[in-house]
Amino acid sequence: MPITTRLTERLGVRHPIMLAPMDIVSDGRLAAAVSQAGGFGIIGGGYGDAAWLTREMDAAGDARVGVGFITWSMARQPRLLDLVLERRPPAVMLSFGEVQPHADRIKAAGALLICQVQTLEQARQAVAQGADVLVAQGAEAGGHGISRGTFPLVPAVVDIAGDIPVAAAGGIADGRGVAAALMLGADGVLMGSRFYASQEAAALATAKQRIVAATGDATIRGVLFDIARRNVWPAPYAGRVLANGFSERWRGREVELLQKQAEEAARYDAARAAGDFDTAAVIAGEAVDLIGDIPPAGEIVERVASEAEALLLGASNRYRVAAALSDRTRSSPRGTTGSSPAPPRSAR
């Protein structure tokens, strides 16, 4: 049986799995594939490119998909939000920036407001500003974030959210992560790196292969790649990427890199254009440990959902067995346990 939660009910989907709106990577084709498989696809509006955004919304066709923005960047081009809202999307996701005044425009257009948060204060503000869904993102996630871990952050955000559904993000790439998120009180998950390594993702095959080959130990957080892209984020955000030759050469030398930014940025741009990922960054999180193939996105949705369903059913059965054994123990005559005697220590 599919897992039904407040998130699936609010979004009108079959599985409590959302696509992270990864800049450029989460295009219309990938978002549509996730939605068509029963999850909720979100196009990555990123830093804002009207022509690209229009093309990808067209590419999604009739699929029911949302759009996500890097909020502080979109605020510099408010017309981008109007462009999206004209399409009447079911939801708009805001991350990394002030929710207002965008929240009123989104809700007035009839779209659900999804707010990604990295701190408890951000969660409180999003609730106060009318968020319909919260995404609690831990530092294990690829891309930008703050230094809170997913496991302690999610239940704390759930406590703040009240009746608002919460999705967990950061370090989740299989059914075990979904089941764990639900046990923490979340209503679903948002995954990025797992969908980056899918057939539909708008990324080069060499970048996807790096994700498959990498381990979480080989990810780093910092601002090196933002400097190289001439796109330094506001504090306190830093980005998680796969370590490569560029990061090893410049780690700990950020000030020097800033001093040589023009020269190094030109080299970095050329590397990105050439698909040279020993220089250009592959933005992925610690969940790369759990990613071993590059299947269709729909297969990922179905596989992760099935794994989570089986795990939760198994846990439920185990709890029932444990409860039955406990009942037998309590009802047994004094001095017995209702079960076989324990073996001698030497036999254990």
CATH number of the domain enclosing 33: 3.20.20.70
E strand or H helix that includes residue 134: strand 133-137
Question: Which residue range forms the structural domain that includes residue 167?
Answer: 7-202+294-310
Assess if residue 284 is contained within a domain.
no
Across the chain, which has 348 residues, the per-10-residue mean pLDDT values are 94 98 97 98 94 97 97 93 96 94 95 98 97 98 94 98 98 98 98 98 97 96 93 90 96 94 95 95 97 98 97 74 53 45 36
SS3 185: coil
338 within a domain of the structure (yes/no):
no
Q: What local confidence, expressed as pLDDT, does residue 345 receive?
A: 34
**pTM for the whole thing?**
0.89
Same domain membership, residue 261 and residue 198: no
Looking at the fold, whether 124 and 24 belong to one and the same domain comes out as yes
Instruction: Kindly tell me the sign of the dihedral angle through the C-alpha atoms of 24, 107, 73, 211.
Output: negative
**Residue-level pLDDT at 314:** 85
233 and 166 within one domain: no
Q: Looking at the structure, do residues 50 and 188 belong to the same domain, yes or no?
A: yes
Amino acid identity of residue 116, one-letter, is Q
Q: Would you say 3 and 182 are in contact if contact means Cβ atoms under 8 Å apart?
A: yes
Supply the DSSP string of 328-342, one letter for each residue: HHHHSPTT--SSPPP
Residues 49 and 101 in one domain: yes
| 198 and 211 co-located in one domain | no
Same domain, 162 and 186: yes
* Same-domain check for residues 126 and 231: no
Residues 98 and 168 in one domain: yes
Cα 118 from Cα 134, distance rounded (Å): 10
* C-alpha to C-alpha distance for 179 and 195, rounded to whole angstroms: 18
Question: What does the pLDDT read at residue 102?
Answer: 95
On whether residue 233 sits in a domain, the answer given is yes
Residues 50 and 30 placed together within one structural domain of the fold: yes
> Do 87 and 34 fall within a single domain?
yes
Q: What is the pLDDT of residue 130?
A: 96
How many domains in the chain?
Answer: 2
Determine the pLDDT at residue 317: 67
181/130 same-domain check: yes
The DSSP-derived string for 228-261 is HTT-PPPTT-EEEEE--HHHHHHTT-HHHHHHTH
Is position 331 within any domain? Answer: no
Is position 317 within any domain? no
